[in-house]
Structure 1
Amino acid sequence: MYTLALANNTFSSCFTKKYTTYKIKKGADTFYPFVFNDIMGLGPTNGVQVKDVNLAMKGKVKEGYKFNPDSKLSKDDQFYNKGPTNNDKVHVLVCVINATTVSQLSENIVKKIREIRKEATDLGIPQVAILTKIDQVCPEIKEDLQNVYKVNYLKEKMKQFSVNVGIPMNCIFPVKNYDEEINLDDDVDSLILSALRNIINFGDDCINFRKNPSRAVMSK
C-alpha cells in the first residue's frame, strides 16, 4: 500500500493538481528501475488539457508543474523542459478508469482519451488501461476475487470501454483497490502485480524498439 500518492474518495473534481513522480523503494538506498508519473484527471468537468498530456509524454513537463484546465503549459514557463532526455519521456501510457463509471463516461472524456491515444501512437508509446474498483460492480467478484475472469458482467464492462476508446481487451487489466483493508491480501496483490508486470513489459518493448528499430519492406 503506497500512501504517498494521495487520493480522494469523491468525484466532484480532479484531486491531483501537480505533475508528480513516484518511485518505489527496493532497499534502504535503492529504487526499482521504473517510475510512475501522475497527472491531473480528465474530468468530469474541468480536467487536464490534452496538450499538457501530450507534452508530458514527450518529457517536456517538469516535476511539480501545476496543471491548469484553462490553458496548456507554455514554452516560456519555468516548468517547461526544453531538452528532455529518454528518462524524461513516457514509455507506457496508462489510463485508469473506475469500473463503476464505465457506462457513464461523457463524450468529452472519451474524445480526450482518443486524442491522447492518437498522440501516443504517433510517438510509439504503448497504451493500457487499469479498470479499478471491480469488486463494486459485481457481487460475485466481491465475494471471491478469483472469479474476476469468470464473470460475464465485468467482461462486458471491459468490452464497452474497449469499444469506446479503442484500447484492445488484452491491454485492459482489472484490479481491486485497497480501500477498507489495512493488511495486504494475496488475491488483491495478484491482480495488481499482474497489471504491473504487463506495464513493465510494454515499457521494455518501447525502450528496446527506440534503441533498435527494425526496418522491413512489405510487398505483394
Structure 2
Amino acid sequence: MGNAFNKKRRSSPETFPEPWRNIPWNHKNTDLQVVKDYHPRNNEVQQIRILLHGPSGSGKSGFFNSVDSTLQGRVTGQAAPDAISHDSFTQKYKTYKIQKGGPGTPYPFVFTDIMGLDRDANRGVSVEDIKLAMMGHIKDGYTFNPIAKISEDDNYYNKEPTLKDRVHVLVCVISADTSNILSDEHVEKLREVRLAARDMGIPQVAILTKIDEACPEVKKDIKNVYKSMYVKKQMEKIKVALGIPESYIFPVKNYHSEIDTDDDTDTVILSALRRIINFGEDFVNNL
C-alpha cells in the first residue's frame, strides 16, 4: 500500500480562496450551550462512552485535555501527555469525566483513553484488546500488555458487560504533523479495528490533531483550517487509507503551549464534540 502520509512537510502550504467546509466562528456560546444541555435519552446509560484510539504520539490525551479545557474555560491537564517520545505515554485503560459544575456533577459523556497502536507487533496496544474494550470487557485501571491480550481470569476483565460498559463512539485520533507517519502496519491495525467496530455497529469518526504544527497557515490563524489545502489533503489520505468518509473527519488544534483558552480554537473543538455526541446518542437509541 505504501505510506499513507507523505514523509516531507509542505514548505509553502496554500489556502483555498473559500472554505471547503463552513463553520460559524461566532457560535461558540451556542455550541457550548448545546453540549451543556445534552443528556442521553436512553435510561440504560447515564453517560455516552467515547473511546480514543490511534497511533502512539498522535495526540489522544491532548485531544481529551483540549475538550476538557474548552468546557472548563481554562487550560486543564487531566490526561498526562508527553512532549518528547512518540511511544505511547498512556499505559492503562482509563476513563475521564469532565465536571459540568462543581464536583459530583459531570457531563453525561466520558472519554476513555488507551495505549497507542505501534507499527511493531510487540509494542503498543493489541488490536484484540481494543476489540474487547469496545465490547465493554475491560475495566478501568487495566495495564495493557503489548504482547498479550487481557485474559478472562484477569481481575480487570468484565465478564458480563452491560450497555453502559460498552463503547458508544469510536474516535480514531491521527496527527496531521507528518513527522508521525502512518505506516502500512498502522493502517492494517487501524483498518482491523474499524471493521470490528462496524460489525458491532459502533459509529466511528476521526480526529486530525496538531493541524497548527503541520500547517503554517493554520498556525498563523486557526480560521484557515477549512481553507488549508494541506489539511484537506491529509483528510483525503485518511479516507483512502482507512475508509473513513471526509464528513466523519474533524481537524482540531490541541491546546499544548497556551496558558489560556481561545474562542476560535474552542469553536473547532466544539464542532467536533457535538457530532461525536450525536453519533453516540444515535447508537444507544438504535440498539
TM-score scaled to structure 1, two decimals?
0.92
Match of 1:200 in 2: 277
Offset, 1:109: 0.8
Change (3 A) 1:14 1:44: farther
2:79 pairs with 1:79? no
Offset, 1:44: 4.2
Question: Residue deviations 1:40-98, cap 9 Å, x none?
Answer: 00124311100000000000000100001000001111110001111100000001111
Match of 2:109 in 1: 34
**Structure 2: which amino acid aligns with 1:122?**
D
| Contact 2:239–2:246 (Cα < 8 Å) also in 1 | yes
Match of 2:247 in 1: 170
Q: Distance in 2 between matches of 1:33 and 1:101?
A: 35
Offset, 1:137: 1.6
Match of 2:73 in 1: none
Q: Distance in 2 between matches of 1:192 and 1:30?
A: 22
Match of 2:190 in 1: 113
Where does 1:64-103 land on structure 2 (aligned, <5 Å)? 64-101=141-178
Offset, 1:111: 0.5
Q: Distance in 2 between matches of 1:101 and 1:68?
A: 28
2:92 pairs with 1:18? yes
Match of 1:61 among 130, 133, 138: 138
RMSD (Å), alpha carbons: 1.2
| Contact 2:178–2:214 (Cα < 8 Å) also in 1 | no
The aligned length equals 210
Q: Distance in 2 between matches of 1:178 and 1:149?
A: 19
Offset, 1:103: 7.4
Match of 1:104 among 163, 172, 181: 181
Structure 1 stretch displaced more, 95-104 or 130-139? 95-104
2:281 pairs with 1:184? no
Provide runs of 4+ in structure 1 moved above 4 Å.
none
**Structure 2: which amino acid aligns with 1:57?**
M
Relative contact order, CA 8 A, sep 6+: which one is greater? 2
Match of 1:151 in 2: 228
**Structure 2: which amino acid aligns with 1:36?**
F
Offset, 1:10: 2.6
Match of 1:123 among 188, 193, 200: 200
Question: Residue deviations 1:87-119, cap 9 Å, x none?
Answer: 100000001111013872111110011000111
Q: SS where residue 76 of structure 1 aligns?
A: coil
Match of 1:49 in 2: 126
Q: Distance in 1 between matches of 2:180 and 2:105?
A: 42
Q: Distance in 1 between matches of 2:136 and 2:250?
A: 25
Offset, 1:191: 0.7
Structure 1 stretch displaced more, 3-12 or 61-70? 3-12
Match of 2:79 in 1: 5
Q: Distance in 1 between matches of 2:200 and 2:185?
A: 23
Q: SS where residue 24 of structure 1 aligns?
A: coil
Q: SS where residue 96 of structure 1 aligns?
A: strand
Offset, 1:12: 3.7
Question: Residue deviations 1:154-202, cap 9 Å, x none?
Answer: 1001101111011110111000111110001001101111111110000
Change (3 A) 1:12 1:142: closer
